[in-house]
Amino acid sequence: MQKCSYFVLAALLCFITIIGSIPKNANAEPILIRFSHVVGEKTPKGVGAQMFKELVEERLAGKVVVEIYPRSLKFTDEQALLGLLFGDVEMAAPSFTKFRKFSRKLQVFDLPFLFESVEEVHRFQQSKAGQELLVSMEDRGIKGLTYWDNGMRVISANTPICQPADLKGLTFRIEPSYVFQKQYEMFGAIATQIPFGQLPDALRVGIVDGYENAWSNVLSRKMHFLRRNFTEVDHSYLGYMVVTSVSFWSGLPDDIRMELEEILAEVTEVVNKLAREKAQSDRKTIVDTSDVTVITLDAEEREQWRQALLPLWKEFEKQIGPELLDAAKASKSASK
Ligand code: LMR
């Protein structure tokens, strides 16, 4: 018995020595980065993922390959976040609403009317507090790499929505956000969480009456043919955190990690510029090519929504953290 364990130990040591002596990169397979997301290839995030792949495979040819899984082909965002931890994917870019199992702080992006323009969002993201958010989930194994924009969400339903009271009795698809849940329930609507990939079908079969999303997502899933009433309340910003796992990222050779970070910075600029353009051009395409009604609110009407929704800031202050909320408010007031 004793002899047998010595034999096993010796064999193990021998194996480790042989493995250890193989030069790390000799004939090494390229590193594979599987990037999962849930939207179409023509959206800002879809374009960003593709550009990331092309630049990586050009500048790190033979060293890194990128596979993209768009349109929830393999995973919903929530599955992808777990997949990062289980080694099923290496990158994802979920909207902030999808992180609630990892951090309640990111709910700061869900609060209605906290960010009323992309400029306010950027000011916050670039602040110390915004940068700290990127590393705030590392103890849970998730590492934020950068932020990508989409745009302001618009509300869409089968009946015109002008004031909060118009939501009463309607069923709304929401992203998995406690803030969004409260927001709809406080107006007497029913909020139901449905993954983005299933939203068009949920509208088609009538499981939900409405939803809110950015123009680029509406166009790419052709949802303007399913619900024709849109309301621009400008209460809510849709953006993303591009994430990886701490273990994958820290296990990369330094030169490759640095090159990936440089590429991501370059892609981020392009994505954010494109997001700004598409917020206008995709809206225009929808208006020009289909029979939709877009309600824009005047200052007084908008104020009515704002006053109704403001109590949510207080309600979520404790979960988000008062200091973080103050930092977000400071980015806001700096724009006034
Ligand atoms: C949604 O679930 O509606 C969005 O987060 C989808 C996306 O990635 O833009």
What's the 334 CA to ligand 1 centre distance in angstroms? 28
CA distances, 170 to each of 13, 230, 307 (Å): 66, 15, 21
pLDDT at 191 over 60: yes
* CA-wise closest residue to 327 among 53, 120, 25: 120
What is the chain's length?
336
pLDDT over 70, % of the chain: 91
Higher pLDDT, 4 or 159: 159
Report pLDDT for 26.
47
HEC per residue, 252-283? CCHHHHHHHHHHHHHHHHHHHHHHHHHHHHHH
Distance CA 239, CA 108 (A): 12
pLDDT at 269 over 90: yes
Measured from CB, residues less than 6 Å from any atom of ligand 1 are 38-39, 95, 150, 175, 196, 213, 217, 238
Mean pLDDT of 144-158: 98
Distance CA 106, CA 84 (A): 18
The dihedral through the CA atoms of 221, 236, 92, 208 has a sign that is negative
Whether residue 210 contacts residue 158, with contact meaning beta carbons closer than 8 Å, is answered with yes
Atom of ligand 1 nearest to the CA of 217: 9
Whether residue 112 contacts residue 183, with contact meaning beta carbons closer than 8 Å, is answered with yes
What's the 259 CA to ligand 1 centre distance in angstroms? 28
Distance CA 67, CA 336 (A): 43
What's the 148 CA to ligand 1 centre distance in angstroms? 12
Mean pLDDT of 38-65: 98
What's the 22 CA to ligand 1 centre distance in angstroms? 44
pLDDT at 106 over 50: yes
Backbone torsions φ then ψ of 35, nearest 5 degrees? -115, 115
Atom of ligand 1 nearest to the CA of 94: 8
Mean pLDDT of 223-229: 98
Residue among 36, 37, 38 to mutate when testing ligand 1 (max atoms within 8 A of CB):
38
Average pLDDT over the chain reads 93
What's the 71 CA to ligand 1 centre distance in angstroms? 10
What's the 327 CA to ligand 1 centre distance in angstroms? 25
The dihedral through the CA atoms of 149, 151, 153, 156 has a sign that is negative
Burial of 65 (0-12, 13-18, 19+ CB in 10 A): middle
Report pLDDT for 167.
98
What is the CATH architecture assignment of 24-334? 3-Layer(aba) Sandwich (3.40)
CA-based angle 332:95:141, to the nearest 5? 105
Report pLDDT for 20.
35
Residue among 95, 175, 192, 221 to mutate when testing ligand 1 (max atoms within 8 A of CB):
95
CA distances, 139 to each of 68, 85, 136, 186, 310 (Å): 26, 12, 7, 34, 32
Report pLDDT for 332.
79
Q: pLDDT digit string (tens) for 307-320?
A: 999 999 999 999 99
* Residue extents of the structural domains in the chain: 24-334
pLDDT at 335 over 80: no
What's the 196 CA to ligand 1 centre distance in angstroms? 6
The dihedral through the CA atoms of 54, 255, 27, 10 has a sign that is negative
The residue whose C-alpha atom lies closest to atom 2 belonging to ligand 1 is: 196
Residue among 217, 223, 240, 278 to mutate when testing ligand 1 (max atoms within 8 A of CB):
217
Whether residue 208 contacts residue 171, with contact meaning beta carbons closer than 8 Å, is answered with yes
CA-based angle 138:143:146, to the nearest 5? 140
Mean pLDDT of 117-132: 96
Report pLDDT for 28.
83
3-class SS of residue 62? coil
Backbone torsions φ then ψ of 55, nearest 5 degrees? -65, -40
Distance CA 203, CA 220 (A): 15
* CA-wise closest residue to 313 among 150, 185, 183, 176: 183
Cβ neighbours around 288 below 10 Å, total: 8
Pick the range with the lowest mean pLDDT from 19-28, 40-49, 54-63, 164-173. Answer: 19-28
Residue among 41, 71, 77 to mutate when testing ligand 1 (max atoms within 8 A of CB):
77
Strands 31-36, 91-92: parallel, antiparallel or unpaired by DSSP?
A: parallel
